[in-house]
Amino acid sequence: MHPNAAWEFAKDILHTHFQGVTQPMFFGHELTPEDHTTRRGKPRPSILATIDLLKKLGGKTIVEIGCMRQPLTHELDEFNPVCCNDGHSTAFWAMTGLAVHSVDIDPACCQVAAETCGACPNVSIYCADGIEFLRQFSGVIDLLYLDAWDAIEGIPYAEKHLEAFQVARPKLARRSLILIDDTDVAFGGKGRQAIPAIIRDGYDLLFVGRQTLLLRLD
Ligand SMILES: C[S@@+](CC[C@H](N)C(=O)[O-])C[C@H]1O[C@@H](n2cnc3c(N)ncnc32)[C@H](O)[C@@H]1O
């Protein structure tokens, strides 16, 4: 495989969604509400780029750890930095029409996701621990979205996201994508331990910022 193959595969789609977007990095946990709302990057461009790349790859199955917990009070193509900081990810995956399996440990979040995606027969919501869910999952994963344990001091978020990747690893399609949220905080945040392990598994890094996207082609 040519060393630039992943970039060649992805670059036009990334240019489309990231034009004019700059994403600051925050190295601690102590972000102010103002930082969260107005300074941080938002998941939207990376989610849209990931969907286009997944379609280009011919992927069929999305597995998400960490359902949307913020009710969607507007159209999906509208953007409001106050409301869209988490990302509404489940709603975006739902609109692809692909098979979406989304799990959350909190029944209230599962309810938000289930109500939002109620009209989408391609979406299944599970109320369970993400790692246990991945252990039981018997399908092939084309896109793994890791966005569960919050990047807050005292929570083993880096370890848990690494563990989630390790459990999902044998179920990932050879050609697949892994997207991780909150990698712009706390020295890599949710991806601090997972990203190096994912790269060692043959994935190329496509971008780093609020979210990190990795692609394996061969
Ligand atoms: C940042 S939110 C997810 C946001 C969502 N992806 C979006 O775009 O709106 C993190 C979610 O992970 C869930 N979570 C925390 N620990 C978990 C675990 N052990 N297993 C599954 N979900 C978990 C939380 O309940 C919360 O809803």
Q: pLDDT digits over 86-145, tens only?
A: 999 999 999 999 999 999 999 999 999 999 999 999 999 999 999 999 999 999 999 999
Could you tell me the residue ranges of all domains in the chain?
Answer: 5-12+43-71+80-216
Q: CATH code for 5-12+43-71+80-216?
A: 3.40.50.150
C-alpha closest to that of 93 among 167, 209, 181, 161: 181
- d(CA 69, ligand 1 centre) in Å: 7
Task: Specify the pLDDT at position 105.
Answer: 98
Confidence of residue 218 (pLDDT cuts 50, 70, 90): confident
Confidence (pTM) = 0.98
Task: Specify the pLDDT at position 22.
Answer: 85
Instruction: Determine the residue of 67, 101, 143 to mutate for testing ligand 1's pocket, defined as the one with the most ligand atoms within 8 A of the Cβ atom.
Output: 67
Angle at 217 between CA 61 and CA 48, to 5 degrees: 55
- d(CA 44, ligand 1 centre) in Å: 17
- d(CA 128, ligand 1 centre) in Å: 11
Q: Is the CB of 63 under 6 A from ligand 1?
A: no
